[in-house]
Chains A and B, each alone.
Chain A
């Protein structure tokens, strides 16, 4: 059986877990077994609807205290549940919480693990999974040598499937270990799309010349419904907040669309965004290295191009 861990926050299942369910269901199909999901805590989502993503059952440990994430407690419960349910493969989203617990679960189950996976397993010579390495600059094909396997799938690398099915919800009871962390404060930026969850991202660099010029970028982001990001020099100069910094030492993202405005495309920046499906580069310097990594490019002055693009997007949305 393939068991998929469902990550949630504020009573809502994360998009990355939807994808993990579809990915786990595809592995279950390869192995000829069932795909079942595991939820620790409570959410507002309709759990039977997870059948549409490919889960036949949802095992729920219905306990409010588990809505606070505690890596030690969560890893221990997931490992126990996986053992009780006799899971062969345990799937996580390679997101913030997945990174904190998937390797611990692997240790507890004596299972080999591949994190940052970007393919279905190749079963021809055992069980091989491809993962991104060198910050997206290469792939490694890794064989898991153990009977049990743990895989953490990169966000936005598999997609969401749609089945005509509904899942049965099964309540599970397990003794809950004592909490090892106490959550004392949560600080969420309200009204912004979190960068790691965003499908569309508009990003600015030093080419915008100063924080006072960010209006054109924000207008474009608003027209698209996109999250905003920036390059390292921009966050280092405090033109934009640090949580917007994407790149090797900032956040690594893989949206469907990344629009880079006034960013030259240094190798460290590309390492944070090169897994984006489509890259648009707007830069007045035709020699900017970013154009080599781009799908679409506009050589021109951002102060003219960006408002024109915003207008074109608005026109398209209006006609829809």
Chain B
């Protein structure tokens, strides 16, 4: 079985969010880069678990990003990817990124293409769905459980207030979230092995972006908390009803 795992580089969850160049660019100063947690903890680790059960499985990693993305690709290889492809593009337009991934996916014969449910920087949740349209493949999103049996996948996905199980004939695309697998730390053997695993760099396809980011802004900061004494709960209820108008 061949699995393509999509990996994205994102700022660490505790990174300070600030912007430069007239609020048009994310301020990368001092930012620690990580693999997008949904890509790493859920999608990649589940792919590795599948390989552990069936060692004939190949796990290919793909990222669309500049050379600065290489440390996170090496980390993903250390966790258990077999080889990696970096498409040398710094686009932040989901459509352009999905087209790059689709072009690589068409060259391989992948049974499963896995993504995280969204990245923690742009939160667009677009890539899996776009890939399904470009590659004309079934798509199950927000999955928290996956079993593969021959050419059939049983996927559990989140629905409002519960879960639903879908049976899908491979190949398919799946976006993963909490529940799918547990976070792992790469071991020394993995880190050593990752140094010599293939990492291919390819130039991007020429694709026109559909969107452009004009500006970033920060939400207005809260005006300050209004403290209510613990014995004044009638007052709190009154404020919620009459001032905040939420109950």
Q: Which residues of A contact B (CB under 8 A)?
A: 9, 14, 70-72, 75, 95-96, 99-108, 110-116, 125, 128, 131-146, 180-189, 192-197, 199-200, 224, 242-243, 245, 248-250, 256-257, 267-268, 271, 274, 277-278, 280-281, 291-301, 304-305, 308-309, 311-313, 315-316
Contacts and interface: CB of A to CB of B under 8 A. Distances in A.
B213 to A, nearest CB: 5
A292 B222 contact: yes
Contacts, number: 272
B123 A133 contact: yes
Closest 7 CB pairs of A and B: A194-B161, A300-B230, A112-B210, A188-B162, A180-B138, A103-B129, A104-B133
Contacts of A72: 132, 136-139
Nearest to A302: B230
Dominant SS at the B interface? mixed
B54 interface: no
B213 A142 contact: yes
A181 B16 CA distance: 41
B227 A297 contact: yes
Nearest to A291: B225
Nearest to B117: A99
B244 interface: yes
Contacts of A224: 247
Contacts of B163: 186-187
A180 B219 CA distance: 41
Given A140-B216, A295-B225, A267 B14 contact: yes
Contacts of B17: 134, 137-138
Interface of B: 11, 13-14, 17, 19, 37-38, 41, 94-95, 98, 117-118, 120-130, 132-134, 136-142, 154, 157-169, 178-179, 208-219, 222, 225-231, 233-234, 236-237, 239-241, 244, 246-247
B233 A296 contact: no
15 contacts: A95-B160, A100-B142, A103-B128, A105-B133, A106-B210, A116-B124, A145-B209, A145-B211, A194-B160, A194-B161, A295-B244, A296-B225, A296-B227, A304-B230, A312-B234
Contacts of B41: 249
Dominant SS at the A interface? mixed
A297 B226 contact: yes
B94 A103 contact: yes
Contact of A242 (B138, B179, B211): B179
A45 B94 CA distance: 35
Contact of A189 (B162, B208, B246): B162
A200 B245 CA distance: 12
A304 B232 CA distance: 12
Contacts of B211: 112-114, 142-145
B138 A277 contact: no
Nearest to B118: A99
B77 to A, nearest CB: 23
A197 B139 CA distance: 24
Contacts of A281: 225
A195 B121 CA distance: 23
B142 A96 contact: yes
A243 B122 CA distance: 23
Contacts of A140: 122, 213, 215-216
A103 B126 contact: yes
Nearest to B239: A296
A99 B96 CA distance: 18
A141 B24 CA distance: 9
Contacts of A304: 230
A278 B142 contact: no
